[in-house]
Structures are given as structure tokens and as C-alpha cells.
Amino acid sequence: MSGVLSRYDQGPFFCEIMGRSGTPAAEHTAAIRERLAQLDLDALQRRSEDAERELYNLGITFTVYSDKDAIDRILPFDVIPRILSREDWAHLEAGVIQRVTTINLFLADVYGPQHALKDGIVPAELVLGNSNFQEAMIGVKVAHGAYANICGIDVVRDDAGKFMVLEDNARTPSGVSYVLENRNMMLRAFPDLTTDISIRPVDNYGPKLQEAMVEIAPTEVADPQVVLLSPGTYNSAYFEHIFLAREMGVPLVEGRDLVVENDRVYMKTTGGLERVHTIYRRLNDDFLDPEVFRPDSTLGVPGLMRALRAGNVAIANSVGTGVADDKAVYAYMPRLIKYYLQQEPILDNVQTFICREQEALSYTLDNLDKLVVKPVAESGGYGITVGPKASKEELEVCRANLLKDPSNYISQPTIQLSVCPTLVEGEVEPRHVDLRPFAITGKSTWVLPGGLTRVALRRGSLVVNSSQGGGSKDTWVLG
Amino acid sequence: MARLLARFAEDMFWLARNMERAENLARILDVNETFSRDARGSQNWLSIVHLHADNERFFAKYQAATANNVIHFYLLDPENPSSIYSCLKASRDNARTLRPLISTELWTQLNMFYSWIRTLTPADVNRADLARVCNKIKEGCQSHTGILEGTLYRDEGWYFYQLGKLIERADQGTRMLDIKYHMLLPATTEVGSPLDVSQWNALLRSAAGYHAYRRVQPRGMSPTSVAGFLIFNNAFPRSLAVCIASIDEIVVRLRQRYGLRAGNRTLEILDGMRGTLANRSIEMVLGGGLHEFLDWVQVQLIAVTDDFGRSFFGHAPSPEQAQVA
């Protein structure tokens, strides 16, 4: 083969374009491989640089809190797409819908009759003692039982090409803006690569989201006013907030733009106060309402919970959804799927050891160098110890943390994540990827075809988080 | 369709003001370098400091109003909140907030414009290159204006942008006239001398009004006629009369089109200003004291801006506004 893949070697990993190691290249990517063969590295490099400059000029950026000089940084964009076959996608889509359905049933149960706790499916103290469990939500009615209206389910693929759920994101998952912008970028930068290949479109995400926000609004309203609530311009995901507000055609508000009177929510406009019916919030629970949560927070809206409890406003995602995406609760998800749906999980979990359980803790301590140890309360890849890559000192720190507070940790075997050809420093090399499909739930659940593929740009690295030097790729679902 | 958020209305207003300021400042620096030389060929850079009432801040940092100091202070100094750099940074911050409302083109141009000015070093703006840099700034501001004209959706936000632009224009124009008039007013013996003419020439160019003025006054150039042109001309886009009339028109249309009930105080003030302008000649103004007149204009503009704050931007709302719409 000539062109940019001529020197590509996927190693022992499953490759998202070539398929399983040691087998002939995957059939469904033949047309794309042929086109990549017609591109040379210099041309690819040039177009890649153009694309990144465009991203920067367009301000498609995120903020890195630890680097105060880099308020705006782009998520590095890799120009070689990740490709999912129609069959793979059908499987993933069904699995994500099953998972999200379970998450919502679980949340309705937890804030309602608590059957699963009483039946011993999940340890009650794991749920009720969880910092993400919000007592203020007990007994609150939520339209269609849709608590987690926007879900991002992180999946990975092992060396056999099998998909597994790595993590559920049921609070305010980020990244969907990159899915849409990456596609725009791809269509502009590589018309020759994309023409006449049937790729499922992603640009109906905004309308679908808007539709769900209307579906969950208080029922007496004919034409509900939807807003997007952002913490403001200095939030790391501010670009995404802008993007979503624009795609939905709704105002992007901050807490200071909203006010609650008589348990109803209003926004401050040039003509005075105007009623708000649905809030897509991109603010954590803690900051939403100083009357109920952190009293020192000025980002939220005093009285918002009163309005929610009175049924005068819908909040997406609803408050307290974090209890379902907790890394400890995650371990019980396969059992919860069987419990609520009487079905086998379509997507398996990655094997997970819950260190609060003595046996799991001993196993974890004995196999630290083979396991990934994760704190259950952190997100964004912080605090993770990747055993096989860690130094002796790092393992000792990890051991001490585990012994000090075992219930704060889970551990998992390291998965040989699948790879995708990636342009790195003028050469196309395999880099590990994961995938975050996005599901929207109103009356029913819809999954955006594809999702965010994050790629670990450092050779051999398994960490794909944007805050840890990851990039992203366009994700094509073949139609 | 939801009404415009009060905060966004204010950001639109300030986006316009900040861009207008940056453009104006670039024009002043450029003109000062090129046209305002005295008999010995040196320029008075201190007048720019006076113009912006920056004496205290400037001399806290610099010993003397040399060309390099003044240029740096007004072009690149991030510590000077009214430097071109600071104006563009503030504009970009406004635009960043407004991104849900403005076009991608508008944002991208501002983003790139700001990225460019961030890369400038003092060496890039030395006097030999000043004209080139100022031109590039003016071009950037005018591209902004053009993109805005061509792409910004004409809703409430657009009206608030226009208000910001016009208020800033009226403010800058009258300030410049106030300072320059006194600085440039020559001893009687020099009236009509080449030097005198070139100074007034510079003032007109700072307001981008030289050629328009020439069409109105093909012969000669007197302080009275230049001041009259900048205050009363009803066709020159930067004259006080045009700015005030346009502000009035826009507030009226804003109220009509969007059913806004506030803004009465603004209309009263504008009525007063229009009446004053209609009933006076430049000779009457000069007779009563130009400085006093311009001072009155400034006070009125501040009152209008304050009323916008209360009426539309949600600053300490009146009981009438607090009623639920």
C-alpha cells in the first residue's frame, strides 16, 4: 500500500481502520483506505496545520485551569477519522440506550421508592452516603422519568475489538461540540476523502436537544422558553456552552441573569423579567442554588430548587444525577440492568474491583502494578494511577492512599485500548482511542451517531483526557 | 422569540464603544505623527494625554510625554485601560460573551485581530512603523464594522450596538474638539498662516472629516468653521448633530419595535440636545464659550448612558421594570 498508511504498523492492538491485529484489513474501511493511499504525508501535514489554525481562529477552544496564560487552547484535532461500521454502531447504539434507560430507572428509584436498595442490589450506604446523592430531590417529580437527559457513555475496545463501558457521565458531560465541529472541519479540509462515502450526519444534535428540552418542560406550557445556564466565560467548557445555545437557538444565561419569584424562574431582559421553563444547566449541583447547596456560591440562582420542587421549571440534567455515574455505582450497573429491565447487558463493564470491599482491596494491593486505580469522586483523569506505567514511588503513594481511604477507590485491569492511525510529528502512527457517544433523553432516548473519539497523542499513552494532553478525531458511522 | 438578555444588551453596547475607541485612538496617533507639527517640525504628544484626561496615570509611569512614551502608552500598554490593546482585549471579551448572538465571521475577525495586536512589541510600533501599524488597526476596526454590517442579525442587539457606537463617537468627537480647540487656538497674528491651517487640518483628519469638510468649505479653514462642521453638520457621520439624531432615532425604533417601555429619560435628554443644536449657531456657541458647551454635551451623554443602564441593562431597576412582562 502506498500513501500515508504505507509504513503504518498497528502492533498487537485492535485498529479502528485496519481491524484486528494479524488479520486482513477490515472490509468496511476499504474505500477510505484507498483514498488515504492517494494522500502523501506532506499534504496531510499541511492540511492538518490549516485545520488547527482554523480551529484556533474560530475560537473552538477550551480552558486549562492549571495554565493561566492559556485561557484558550484548542483540542488538538487529528485529521485521520475513526470509522465505525454500521453493525458496530447498531450494537453500540442499542447498548447505550439500554444503559441510559437503566440509569434513569435507577435515579427514579433512588429518589423514589428505593426498591433496588431494599432488595440489596446495590449497598444502600453506597448510594445514600454518596456525596452526589441529593436529599433535596427525594420525592421530586421529573417529566417522563428522564433525570439524565444528556448522557455521555465512555466506551473502549479491547484487543479483540470488543466494546466495553468504561464510565458513565450523567452529570454535565462535555465534548459534543467537538463532534460537530470536527465534522465541519473534516468536510472542509478533506472534501476528497469524504465525497461519496455515506457517513451518518451529526448536525441534528441541536434540534434533538431542543426537542427534548421542550418535552420535559412543565406540561401546562404551550411554547416553553428554554435557556442554557453556564457558569460564564471562564469555564473550561464555555465554548461548548455557546455552541449548544446557538445550536438550540436559546439564550445562554448565567446565574445573575435569572431570578426566582413566587417559585417561578425568570430571566432579566431589556424589557424586564421573562418566564423560563426549561434550564439546560452546565453548572454542578453544588453551585445551582445557594439556598440549598453551597451558600457561598454566586454562580447559581437562589430559589431554583423551590421552583423545581413546585414543578414550575425543568432542569436538565436533573439535580443529583451524579449518584448514577459514580465510579463505585458503575460496578453495579450490569446487575441493575438485569434488575430493572430483565435483560442481559448489551455492553459489558470493564472488570471493576470496589476497594471498599475487603477482598477487592487485597487483590488491588497485591496487583497494583497491573491495575488502573481510580478515585471514585474525581473526573477529567485526575488522580488516576496506571499501574504498568507507574514508577515505584508512584505505586507507593497509590498504596498509601488506598490504605488511608479504600472506599474512595476502584481498580480495573488495564485494557489494551484499540488504536487508530494518527498523524504525529509528520508520521502516521497508532495511538490509543476511546469513544464517548452522546444520548439525549426526553420522552425517549436518541443517540448521536458516532460520538467523541479522544486520542492519546503521546506514544503508548492510555490517557485520552483533553486536560492530560489528549486530542480528538472525527468519528464516522458508515450508513 | 425571547427578548434580549439585559447583560447581552450591555455587552453589545460596550463592544461597539470599545471598537470605536480603538479606531479613534489609532486615527489620533497616526494623525499626530503625520500632520500635527509645529513650526520647528516637532509634535505635541502631550495633547493626546490631555485629550483622554490621563495626566495622572501617564505621569505615574513616564517622566515625559515623548513620542515613544505616548505611543507605547496608548498603543500597547496593557496597564492603560484605554490603550488600543486594552480596547481590543475588552472588545474580544465582550464578543466572547456575545458569541451565542454574533456571527462566526464577526467573532473570528476579532479573535484574529486581538491575536495580532498581542504579538506586537515596542520595536514594531516605533515611529517609522507607526503609520503602518495605525493603518492596520483602522483597517481591522473597519473590517469589524463591515462584517457587522453584513452579518449581524438585526434584532435588539444590533440596536444596542448602534447606540454604543454613536455615544462613543459623540463623546470622542466633542472631547477632541474641546482639547484641540484650546491647544490650537493661535495668537491672532497666526490666524490663516500655513501652520495654523495644518493644525486644523490635523483635527479634521483625526475625525476622518477632512475631505468632507473641504466639500462644504472649498476655501479657507477657520477655527469657527471647523468647530461648526464637527458640531452642526447634518451629513457628516461623526458630527455631534448626526450622532444625536441617530441615537434618538434608534431609541425610538427600539421602543416601537420591541415594546420596551423604559428609556423615557433618554428621550427627554435627547430632545433637549436636539433643540439646543437646532436653535444655535456656531457663533452663539463660541460666544457662550465652546468649552462650557462641550462640557454640557458630555454631561448629557453621561446621563443618557446612565439611563440606558437603568432602563435596559438591569442596573438597579425601577419598580416599573420589575413588573413581570
Q: What is the pLDDT of residues B200-210, one digit of tens each?
A: 888 888 888 88
Instruction: State how far the Cα of A458 lies from the Cα of B133, in Å rounded to an integer.
Output: 41
A364 in any annotated domain: yes
Among chain A residues, the shortest Cα distance to B322 is held by A272
The C-alpha atoms of residue B82 and residue B29 are separated, in whole angstroms, by 13
**pLDDT given for residue B321 in this prediction:** 42
**Domain range for B26:** 6-322
Look at residues A196, A104, A14, A95 and name the one whose alpha carbon lies nearest to residue A451: A95
Task: Quick: pLDDT tens for B117-126.
Answer: 999 999 998 8
Residue A355 domain boundaries: 351-413
| B111 to A267: CB separation less than 8 angstroms, yes or no | no
Which triple of cell numbers denotes residue A273? 423579567
Q: Which amino acid is present at A97?
A: I
Q: Closest CB to B112: pick one of A57, A252, A257.
A: A57
The closest CB to that of B5, out of A59, A251, A261, belongs to A251
Give the CA distances from residue B256 to residues A344, B105, B262, in Å, rounded to whole numbers and listed in that order: 62, 30, 11
Q: Does B324 touch chain A (CB under 8 A)?
A: yes
The answer to whether A177 and A244 have CB atoms below 8 angstroms apart is yes
Q: Do A233 and B93 touch (CB under 8 A)?
A: yes
End-to-end CA distance of chain B: 14
* A478/A230 Cα distance (integer angstroms): 34
For testing contact with chain A, the best of B4, B15, B99, B260 (most A CBs within 10 A): B99
For an interface test with A, the pick among B1, B7, B163, B255 (most A C-beta atoms closer than 10 Å) comes out as B7
Q: In the structure grid, which three cell numbers stand for residue B275, read together?
A: 433643540
Q: How many domains does chain B have?
A: 1
Q: Are B245 and B239 in contact (CB under 8 A)?
A: no
Residues of A in contact with B310 (CB under 8 A): none
Indicate yes or no: CB of B7 within 8 angstroms of CB of A257: yes
Q: Do A225 and B261 lie within an 8 Å CB cutoff?
A: no
Contact criterion met (CB < 8 Å) for A251 and B100:
yes
Which of chain B's residues have a Cβ under 8 Å away from the Cβ of A214? none
Tell whether A266 lies on the interface with B, counting CB pairs under 8 A.
yes
A57/B contact by beta carbon, under 8 A: yes
ipTM of the complex: 0.82
Between A242, A267, A270, which is nearest B312 by CB?
A270
pLDDT of residue B232: 95
Residues 6+ apart with CB under 8 A from B242: B233, B234, B235, B236
Cβ proximity of B168 and B17 under 8 Å? yes
**A267 has a chain B CB within 8 A of its CB:** yes
Work out the number of other CB atoms within 10 angstroms of the CB of residue A294: 15
The H-assigned helical ranges of A318-458 are: 322-325, 327-330, 333-341, 358-366, 392-404
Residue A7 is placed in which grid cell? 509504513
Q: Residue A104, preceding bond cis, omega within 30 degrees?
A: no
The torsion angles phi and psi of B287, rounded to 5 degrees, stand at -60, -40
Q: How distant is the Cα of B23 from the closest Cα of chain A, in angstroms?
A: 22
Are A59 and B321 inside 8 Å of each other by CB? no
Tell me, what's the pLDDT at B198?
74
Would residue A192 count as lying in a domain? no
The C-alpha of A57 sits at a distance from chain B's nearest C-alpha, in angstroms, of 6
Do you know the residue count of chain B?
325
- Distance in angstroms (rounded) separating the CA atoms of residues B25 and A62: 32
Q: With an 8 Å Cβ cutoff, is B207 touching chain A?
A: no
Residue with cell 433496588: A116
**Chain centroid to CA A367: how far?**
29
Question: What are the chain A neighbours of B314 within 8 Å (beta carbons)?
Answer: 268
Residue A178 host element (H or E): helix A176-189
Could B96 and A274 be called an inter-chain contact, meaning their C-beta atoms sit closer than 8 Å?
Answer: no
B6/A270 touch (CB, cutoff 8 Å), yes or no:
yes
Q: Do the domain assignments include residue B1? A: no
| A244 vs B contacts (CB less than 8 Å) | none
DSSP state of A478: B
Is the Cβ of B260 closer than 8 Å to some Cβ of chain A?
Answer: yes
> Nearest Cβ partner of A270 from B108, B156, B323?
B156
Residue A111 pairs with which residues in a beta bridge?
A: none
Q: Which of residues 271-290 of A touch B (CB under 8 A)?
A: 271-275
CA distance A388 to A231: 38
CB A121 within 8 A of CB A336: yes
Rounded CA-CA distance A438/A97 in Å is 10
CA–CA dist B265, A299 (Å, integer)? 33
DSSP, collapsed to helix, strand or coil, labels residue B199 as helix
Average confidence (pLDDT) per 10 residues, chain A, 479 residues: 84 96 94 90 89 80 57 79 97 98 98 96 89 94 96 95 95 93 89 87 96 94 94 88 94 96 96 95 94 90 96 96 90 95 97 89 94 77 83 93 90 92 92 97 97 92 76 94
The answer to whether residues A221 and A277 touch, using CB atoms and an 8 Å cutoff, is: yes
Cis peptide bond upstream of A317, omega within 30: yes
Measured CA to CA, the distance from residue A88 to residue A377 in angstroms comes to 31
Measure CB to CB from residue A233 to each of B3, B97, B321 and give the nearest one. B97
Taking only residues 128 to 157 of chain B, the set having a beta carbon closer than 8 angstroms to any beta carbon of chain A reads 156
Q: Nearest chain B residue to A276 by CA: give it.
A: B2
How far is the alpha carbon of B136 from chain A, nearest alpha carbon, in Å?
Answer: 18
- Domain total in chain A: 1
Q: Are B75 and B125 in contact (CB under 8 A)?
A: yes
In a domain, A389, yes or no: yes
Q: Which three cell numbers stand for residue B139?
A: 483597517
Tell me how far CA of residue A403 lies from CA of A196, A255, A387, A407, B10, in angstroms: 57, 41, 16, 9, 54
CB of A304 within 8 Å of a chain B CB? The answer is: no
Q: What share of chain A is helix, strand, coil (3-state, %, to 5)?
A: 35, 25, 40
Q: What number of CA atoms fall less than 13 Å from residue A450's CA on the CB side?
A: 29
Query: Is B261 within 8 Å of chain A by CB?
Result: yes
The reply to whether residue B5 touches residue A246, judged by beta carbons under 8 angstroms, is: no
Pick from A246, A251, A254: which is nearest to B2 by CB?
A251
Residue A393 lies in a domain: yes
All residues of chain A having their beta carbon less than 8 Å from the beta carbon of residue B89 are: none
Determine the Cα–Cα distance for residues A229 and A281; give it in Å rounded to an integer: 4
In chain A, what residues touch B147 (CB-CB under 8 Å)? none
The whole-number pLDDT of residue B39 equals 58
Interchain contact, A271 vs B260, CB within 8 Å: yes
CATH label of the domain that carries residue A370: 3.30.1490.270
Main-chain dihedrals φ then ψ at residue B302, nearest 5 degrees: -65, -40
Q: Which amino acid is at A117?
A: L
Cell of A266: 425568570
| Cα–Cα distance for residue pair B274/B241, rounded to 1 Å | 8
Whether B100 and chain A come into contact, CB under 8 Å, resolves to: yes
Residue B140 is classified by DSSP as H
Q: How many contacts (CB atoms, under 8 Å) link A and B?
A: 80
The grid cell for B301 is: 451623554
Task: Write out residues 154-173 of B within 8 Å (CB-CB) of A.
Answer: 156, 160
Q: Which of A238, A242, A274 sits opposite B2 (nearest CB)?
A: A274
pLDDT at B323: 47
Angle of helix B6-35 versus helix B127-151 axis, rounded to 10: 150
Closest Cα in chain A, distance from residue B322 (Å): 6
| Inter-chain touch B2–A257, beta carbons under 8 Å | no
pLDDT per residue as tens, chain B (325 positions): 578 999 999 999 999 999 999 999 998 888 887 766 665 666 778 888 988 889 999 999 999 999 899 999 999 999 999 999 999 999 999 999 999 999 999 999 999 999 999 999 999 988 888 999 999 999 999 999 999 999 999 999 999 999 999 999 999 999 888 877 776 655 555 555 665 677 788 888 888 888 899 888 888 788 889 999 999 999 999 999 999 999 999 999 999 988 888 888 999 999 999 999 999 999 999 998 898 999 999 999 999 999 999 999 988 754 544 443 3
